[in-house]
Structure 1
């Protein structure tokens, strides 16, 4: 049996009208405006309507990783092993600097979410300032994930934490199908299991399986309203 199955859960529809969705075409090429107190985004931010709070956090992650490993992140999945290395580097330091963990987790979660969003042609749903409720949703298949939860798992190497769940959220009928696809995969080395680079591969496989299964019907696209339960 493959080692990925518990990363999939049924989808609980998000809650009512106070949810704010920020939808971004992954091909967008304009830059967001910066305000006085926020860092000016680098041209690598080829986004248009990504929440500015996300851009600030992503900029912080890019800076943290550059300061640690000396390499710029470019939002490709190939950069995720660098982020994994960064987390492994700071893990021991956080035993004595607990106060630094929230910013690191939010920043890494935002960067991971942006890498995923661009790859799955997705968008952010941000209910409020609580990053535990943030999600990246696919427009190509009914799938969402909390990238902050993935960052918690990666930083704490699967140990118990107070972060959000990181499992994939799917439509109920798709749950068994994706589970079966993931269970068929070879087992992952336990030391690598919670890495963001491995988590990305799981998301990629799940999206691909859903798209391949849907075939001609795969041209259906999903929007924020599909992920949010309308208020009565």
Structure 2
């Protein structure tokens, strides 16, 4: 278990993730336990949910699904939530041992709509100097169907590969460090860094 996994998530994230657990239990009769093994169940839930009113699903379900997905990530990797206020588009998970962040709620919207969405922060952000090598690494992967590309199970696997790649790269270059909340606020152009 990572240090981040021992630290409770923000209350609004925890509440939304619990709502996701409840939605899935009611819809498919399965219990989510915040492990990567439950992501295929969540993907199946989203496949079934796509048949109903799209706008309603995105408004009600995506925040809960994204919070659950972010919690699976937080418990699996050394990352933390940045979740100020109730504007979901500003939320993200930030990794402590490599420079990597994105919005799991944006990824949930993409998993529902099966297309990229602008303005929701679903794009994975890392340092510019690692980007070319990372893209080359990911392009070697076998092509997948659109539905599989946006599936949260696939996203988790890709994030796992990215984290591994960035950690190995950092070790090889001797550039390992901890990335704290102030660093991310500065990089993501949020509010000014907290004063000590």
> Normalised by the size of structure 1, how large is the TM-score?
0.74
What is the alpha-carbon distance in structure 1 between the residues aligned to residue 179 and residue 65 of structure 2?
A: 26
In the alignment, structure 1 residue 139 sits paired with structure 2 residue 117: no
Matched residue count: 187
Structure with more relative contact order (C-alpha pairs < 8 Å, separation 6 or more): 1
Which one of 81, 84, 106 corresponds to residue 63 of structure 2? 106
Q: 1:83-98 residue pairs with structure 2 within 5 A?
A: 83-95=42-54, 98=55
Once the 2 structures are TM-superposed, how far is the Cα of residue 99 of structure 1 from its aligned partner?
3.4
What root-mean-square deviation, in Å, do the aligned CA atoms of Structure 1 and Structure 2 show? 2.1
Once the 2 structures are TM-superposed, how far is the Cα of residue 146 of structure 1 from its aligned partner?
0.6
Deviations 1:132-179 (A, max 9, x none): 110001111100011011101100112x65761411111111111211
In the alignment, structure 1 residue 186 sits paired with structure 2 residue 142: yes
In the alignment, structure 1 residue 201 sits paired with structure 2 residue 157: yes
> Normalised by the size of structure 2, how large is the TM-score?
0.87
Q: Does the CA contact (< 8 Å) of 2:90 and 2:121 recur in 1?
A: no
Once the 2 structures are TM-superposed, how far is the Cα of residue 49 of structure 1 from its aligned partner?
3.4
Which one of 136, 142, 148 corresponds to residue 105 of structure 2? 148
Q: Does the CA contact (< 8 Å) of 2:92 and 2:121 recur in 1?
A: no
Once the 2 structures are TM-superposed, how far is the Cα of residue 117 of structure 1 from its aligned partner?
1.6
Once the 2 structures are TM-superposed, how far is the Cα of residue 68 of structure 1 from its aligned partner?
1.3
Once the 2 structures are TM-superposed, how far is the Cα of residue 56 of structure 1 from its aligned partner?
0.5
Structure holding more helix per residue = 2
Q: Does the CA contact (< 8 Å) of 1:148 and 1:163 recur in 2?
A: no
Q: Does the CA contact (< 8 Å) of 2:20 and 2:68 recur in 1?
A: yes
Please list every run of 5 or more consecutive structure 2 residues that lacks an aligned counterpart in the other structure.
Answer: none
Please list every run of 5 or more consecutive structure 1 residues that lacks an aligned counterpart in the other structure.
Answer: 1-23, 29-47
